[in-house]
A and B are shown apart, each in its own frame.
Chain A
Amino acid sequence: MTATTVEGTASPGRQSHRTPLRWGRVLTVARTDLRQLAQARDFWMPMTFLGALFYAIVPAVLLTTIGRIGSVEVIARVSGALEMLPETARSQIRGDSAAGQTGYALAVFLFAPMAVIVPLTISTAVGAATLVGERERGTGEFLAHSPAAAREIYLGKLIASLVPGYGTVAIGFGVYSLIVNVTVGPEVGGWFFPTAQWWVMILWVLPPFLAICLSLVLRLSARVSSTAAAQQASGLVSLPLIGIAYSQATGVLMGAGWLPLWMGAGAWAVALISLARGMRAVTRSRLLGVGPGL
C-alpha cells in the first residue's frame, strides 16, 4: 500500500478574505500601463491635440481677439452679456475697460468646461480600454495567474487612467494660466490667474468627478467583451457626467463662500463609494474572459 501526503502545510481554518494591499504592486501595474501608453503614439497624439485645442488654441485666439478688437459696439454687446452672470460672479470681475472686463469674465468663468471636458475625455478613453484590453491581448491571463490581488490590479489601472487625464489638466492649467495672464493681465492691472475658485475646482472638485467617471468606466471595461463595446458604453456613461461636472465647475467658479467646498465634499463622498463598488468588478475570471456575461 502506498500512502499519499500533501506537500506543505494545510491552511488551518478559514482565513481572512483580504490580503494586505501592496502599494508596490499597485504602482507596478500603473507604471507598466503608463509605459505602454507612452509607446502608443496613435493614442497620445490626438489627446495632446485635444488638450492643446482646449487649453491653448481656443483661449489664445478668443482672448487675443477680444483684446484687439477695435469696435466699441461689439465689445459693449459682449460685455452686456456679462449682465447674465450671477451677482457673486459679477462682483469679482476686474478691469476698468469693457474689453478688460470681458476678457476677465471669459478667462475666469466661461472657459470652465475646458478643465472638465479634457481630463474626463482622456481618462475615459484610457480607462475604457484598460481591462478589456488585457483580455483581448491575452495578457489578462498573465495577471490572473500572478500573485497580484484583483484590487491591486484595479487600483493600478485606476491610477494609470487618472494620470494621463489629470496630467493633462496640470500641464494645460499652467499653459492656460500663462495665456490668460499675458493676454488679459495688462487690461486688468496685472497677473490675476489662477483665482482662488480655480484652485478649488482643479484640486478639490475635478478629482472626485474623474474618480467617479473612472470607477464606472473601469467597471464597464471589466464586464464587456471588446474594446469597441467598452468605448461606446463609456461614452454613454461619461457624457452625462461631463454635463454634471461642467455645471458643478461653473457653480464653483461663480459661487461664493463655502459652497464650492461643500460641492467638492459631496463629489468625494460619491467617488469613494463608487470606487469601492467598482473594485468588485475586477475578478480573475473576468481577466481570463470567462466571467459572468463575457
Chain B
Amino acid sequence: MTGIRPFTVLLDRVSRSFGGQPAVAELSFGAPAGAITAMLGPNGAGKTTALRLITGALDPDGGAVRVFGLDPGRPADGEAVRARCGVVTAKPSLYDRLSGLDNLRYAAQLYGLGRGNDVDRRLRAAAAQFGIDEALSQAVGGYSTGMKTRLALARAVAHDPELLLLDEPTSGLDPESAAAVLDLVRAMTSSGRTVLLCTHLLAEADGLADEVVVLERGTAVATGSPAVLAAGYWPHPQVRFVAERPADLDRLATWPGVVGYQREQDRSVVDLDDAGRVADLVMGLSRDGVRLKAVEPHRPTLEDLYFAIQASRRTASSAPTPAQAPAPKSAPARAPAGAETPLDPPVEVGR
C-alpha cells in the first residue's frame, strides 16, 4: 500500500565538524509529523548537534536540513522555523536572577506572544501543566534541578509550538516528575504536534517513540519504527521456557514449528514460525512429563533493540572479511541511500 507521510524534519547527508572533529557525519533521517521520534545514542553521538542543526542554531558544513519544508540556515526561514519550535536543552538555560514568571515572559516576548495579562495567564497555564505555577514568583536561582527542568518545559510549550525538540528532558527529574513529563510529551503528539526526543535513557523512549534514530559517532546506524526494527533482529516470535530440569527442554529443538532453539543457563529461548504454537508446545512438554516453571513470550524492549544493533555493528566492524563475518539474523536498518528525492531520509516504514 502506498502512503504519503509528511515529515516535519528531514536531514539529508548532513555533516558538521568542530575543529576538524566530526560531530555529525552524513546524517540522514526524518521525523514524521505528529509522531514522537527518539534519537538514541551514547553521550557524544551527535544528538545535541543534530538538534542544533534542526533549529538553525548551527549551520551544517554539508548536506541539507529541512524543517516544515524550510531551510533553517537561511535567516528568514530560520526565524520562521525557530518561532514554530519549542526547545528544551540538556541544561535548562534559565536566568537565575529573574523570577520564573520573568523567564517565561522573556521567552514569550521573543517568540512574539507579546505582553499583558492575557499572556501572563497563558504562561501560568503552561507552568501549571508542569506543576511549577506556584513557584513562578521566586527567583530561578533558588529552584531545584527538577523545578528548573519543569520551568524550561513550560517555556518550551508556552507559545504552542508545532515541533517540540527535547534534549534529555528528564535528566535530573525524580521518577514521578519524569513520568509526568513523558505523559505530557505523549499528549503533545495526540494534538498533532511533532516531537523529537534526544535521550540516552532507553527506558524512557520505550513505548513512547513512534520512530527511533540510533546515532553512533554522528551517523544514523538504524532508523525506523521500533516494531519494524525489532522484526529485523527478531524475525520470529520468541518464547522463553524455564523447566525444573533445563535439559528436558532440549527436545524442543526438533519439534515442528520451532525454527530456532538456544539454551541459556536455566532457560531455553525458542523461536517459532507462529506465535500460535506456544499452546501446542506447552501441552507436548506436559505430555512428556516436563515440569515447566515459566513460559514467557519475549517482547524485545528498545534496550534489547539498541544493544542488538550495537552488537551487530561491533560484529560487522570486527570481522576480518565480509565472507567470514557471522550473518546477522536480519539486516539492520538500511544505510541512508536510495531515497526517492535527495531529501528522502532512510526511513524503514511500518508504523
Residues of chain A having any CB pair with chain B under 8 Å: 1-11, 14-19, 24-25, 28-29, 32, 35-36, 39-40, 137-142, 144-149, 284-285, 287-288, 290
- A149 near B5 with CB under 8 A, answer no
Write out the residue numbers on chain A whose beta carbons fall within 8 Å of the beta carbon of B7.
4-7
* Cβ distance B231 to chain A, nearest Cβ, rounded Å: 16
Write out the residue numbers on chain A whose beta carbons fall within 8 Å of the beta carbon of B77.
11, 15
The listed residue (B92, B97, B344) touching A39 by CB distance below 8 A is B97
Contact mask for chain B residues 100-117; partner A; CB cutoff 8 A; 1 contact, 0 none = 001000110111100000
Given contacts A2-B3, A7-B69, whether A146 and B75 have CB atoms under 8 Å apart is: no
Given contacts A6-B343, A7-B33, A35-B98, whether A144 and B57 have CB atoms under 8 Å apart is: yes
Residues of chain B having any CB pair with chain A under 8 Å: 2-8, 10, 18, 30, 33, 52, 55-59, 66, 68-71, 74-77, 79-80, 82-83, 85, 87, 89, 91-98, 102, 106-107, 109-112, 139, 165, 339-341, 343-345, 347, 349
Bound-state Cα–Cα, A36 to B103, Å = 11
- A8 near B4 with CB under 8 A, answer no
Closest to A25 in B: B110
* Cβ distance A82 to chain B, nearest Cβ, rounded Å: 49
The listed residue (A10, A139, A140, A148) touching B66 by CB distance below 8 A is A10
The listed residue (B2, B93, B106) touching A28 by CB distance below 8 A is B106
- A8 near B58 with CB under 8 A, answer no
Write out the residue numbers on chain B whose beta carbons fall within 8 Å of the beta carbon of A29.
110
Closest to B339 in A: A4
* Cβ distance B161 to chain A, nearest Cβ, rounded Å: 11
Bound-state Cα–Cα, A142 to B52, Å = 11
- B75 near A16 with CB under 8 A, answer yes
- B76 near A19 with CB under 8 A, answer yes
Given contacts A1-B2, A19-B76, A139-B93, whether A146 and B340 have CB atoms under 8 Å apart is: no
- A138 near B93 with CB under 8 A, answer yes
Extra inter-chain contacts (6) besides given A10-B69, A32-B95, CB under 8 Å: A5-B7, A6-B343, A8-B70, A32-B98, A285-B59, A287-B57
- B82 near A145 with CB under 8 A, answer yes
Closest to A156 in B: B110
* Cβ distance A157 to chain B, nearest Cβ, rounded Å: 14
How many interface contacts (CB-CB < 8 Å) are there between A and B? 142
Bound-state Cα–Cα, A7 to B163, Å = 12
Write out the residue numbers on chain A whose beta carbons fall within 8 Å of the beta carbon of B107.
142, 146
- B69 near A146 with CB under 8 A, answer no
Given contacts A7-B8, A17-B75, A137-B95, whether A35 and B102 have CB atoms under 8 Å apart is: yes
Bound-state Cα–Cα, A176 to B89, Å = 49
Bound-state Cα–Cα, A35 to B6, Å = 43
- B98 near A39 with CB under 8 A, answer yes
Write out the residue numbers on chain A whose beta carbons fall within 8 Å of the beta carbon of B80.
147
The listed residue (A8, A9, A16) touching B76 by CB distance below 8 A is A16
Bound-state Cα–Cα, A287 to B82, Å = 15
The listed residue (B83, B95, B109) touching A36 by CB distance below 8 A is B95
Bound-state Cα–Cα, A24 to B111, Å = 11
- B76 near A147 with CB under 8 A, answer no
Given contacts A4-B339, A36-B98, A288-B52, whether A149 and B75 have CB atoms under 8 Å apart is: yes
The listed residue (B79, B112, B340, B343) touching A3 by CB distance below 8 A is B340
Bound-state Cα–Cα, A29 to B80, Å = 19
* Cβ distance A134 to chain B, nearest Cβ, rounded Å: 9
- B110 near A10 with CB under 8 A, answer no
- A147 near B97 with CB under 8 A, answer no
A-B contact pairs, 21 of them (CB 8 A): A2-B2, A2-B3, A4-B339, A5-B6, A7-B7, A11-B69, A14-B74, A15-B75, A15-B76, A18-B75, A28-B109, A32-B95, A32-B98, A39-B97, A137-B93, A142-B107, A144-B55, A144-B57, A147-B79, A147-B82, A148-B110
- A145 near B87 with CB under 8 A, answer yes
The listed residue (B66, B110, B349) touching A146 by CB distance below 8 A is B110
Q: Which 5 A-B pairs have the closest CB atoms?
A: A8-B69, A8-B68, A7-B6, A142-B93, A144-B57
* Cβ distance B145 to chain A, nearest Cβ, rounded Å: 13
